[in-house]
Amino acid sequence: MTAIPSEPIWVSDSETLNDLCARWSQQAAIAVDTEFMRSSTFYPKTALFQVGDGQGCYLIDPLSMSDFTAFAQLMVNPDVTKVFHSCSEDMEVFQTFMQVTPTPLFDTQIAAAIAGKGFSLGYAKLIDVMLGVEIPKSETRSDWLQRPLSQSQLQYAAVDVAYLLVAYGMLLKELKDRDRLGWVESDCADIVRQAETGVEIDQLYLKVKSAWKLNRKQLSVLRELVSWRELQARERDVPRNRLIKERALWDMARQQPTEIYQISGLEGMTPRTIKQDGEQLLDVIQAASNVPEEQCPSRIPKPLPPAEGDLIKALKQKSRDIAELLAVAPEILVRKKDFEDLVRSRMENASYSLNSRLSGWRREVVGEELLCFAQNWSTS
């Protein structure tokens, strides 16, 4: 194998970055990665951008310059594919730092799974599997905001993009040969759409554990409390659970307290939280509890009854059989929630139907067979 440049090249001024972006805009693909810190904040603190172009590994310092216009334009240049590995957190970094979502996107972790290399492979494992190169991970948890970065950090950051384009080229050929490139492109486009759309704050309450146990009035309170916490966490730039733990929100929604002493005894409610936010929380609870019931959220469906367990198991086995024939990990085809949605669809609508995730390329590959299997199961 031809030697791959992996020496770090430090970029700390806008003029150099602009020249590089002009050059990179002429390439078909570049490898991209980020380093960030988020131990006590809501938003990631961007510490480094890495770009590999096949000729060098460039480490772009966001702490020493402010003009990232050319780089942001490069990230959305439709003629340049941005190659990442396991990109979900990187998307958040780009959204936070420069309000763009890199596109078109190619995620080598997704591509490797669809190519049958293994599900959810880490970067080091992928490069070992595909290239036989061992990559050290000694700096995974180091302080990326410190300056200067150590030589070990610089080398680690460079290596993170050094081999990506080589892996990308190999995966691209294999996916084309097996007529699966469209699968990867579809999944990566979904990541971009989700990153651009963001989360609907008034729907976050649906993710609260045991929310299904609450009635409509209580769900109204939970929805407003969760939305309040989300907005406050963003405004104060603190982690959600550091502000108020989810369990405390659920307890307040269930009990609907009207006095400070009633919330002071709840698990996870610290004296500091009571002093700083207690009265405001009571106001949120009171306003939400006064919403007419017809305007409150609908009840959340209960977990699937045990009686459906046999069908779920049978569907999972069917999915594993299909995955084995395709030589891919079953997890890349169907998630746990997809099975549950399929079974629940008949409980709610009297007939089985596929959710949106199983309605794309997965419909022909696995969805239709699961749908027929479930229909035959219910009539047998």
Contact 74, 24 (CB under 8 A): yes
Residue 1's pLDDT band, with cuts at 50, 70 and 90, is: low
349 φ/ψ angles, rounded to the nearest 5 degrees:
-125, 10
Residue 3's pLDDT band, with cuts at 50, 70 and 90, is: confident
Q: How high is the mean pLDDT of the chain?
A: 95
The DSSP annotation for 232-301 comes to: HHHHHT--HHHHS-HHHHHHHHHH---SHHHHHTSTT--HHHHHHHHHHHHHHHHHHHTS-GGGSPPPPP
**pLDDT tens string 52-93:** 999 999 999 999 999 999 999 999 999 999 999 999 999 999
N-term to C-term CA, the chain: 57
Residue 332 has a pLDDT of: 96
Given a cut of 80, whether residue 368 has pLDDT beyond it is yes
Distance in angstroms (rounded) separating the CA atoms of residues 354 and 341: 7
Nearest of 212, 158, 171, 163 to residue 10 by alpha carbon: 158
Residue 101 CB neighbours (<10 A):
23
**pLDDT tens string 117-169:** 999 999 999 999 999 999 887 777 789 999 999 999 999 999 999 999 999 99
Nearest of 193, 167, 122, 143 to residue 37 by alpha carbon: 143
Calculate mean pLDDT across residues 302-308.
92
Residue 378 has a pLDDT of: 81
**pLDDT tens string 260-288:** 999 998 988 989 999 999 999 999 999 99
Distance in angstroms (rounded) separating the CA atoms of residues 116 and 170: 13
Residue 74 has a pLDDT of: 98
Calculate mean pLDDT across residues 163-190.
97
C-alpha dist (Å) from residue 311 to 308, 343, 373: 5, 8, 9
- The whole-model pTM stands at 0.93
Q: What percent of the chain has pLDDT over 90?
A: 92
Amino acid type, 69 = T
Burial of 216 by CB count in 10 Å (0-12 exposed, 13-18 middle, 19+ buried)? Answer: middle
Angle (nearest 5°) at CA 193 between 191 and 199: 95
Nearest of 12, 34, 24, 71 to residue 160 by alpha carbon: 34
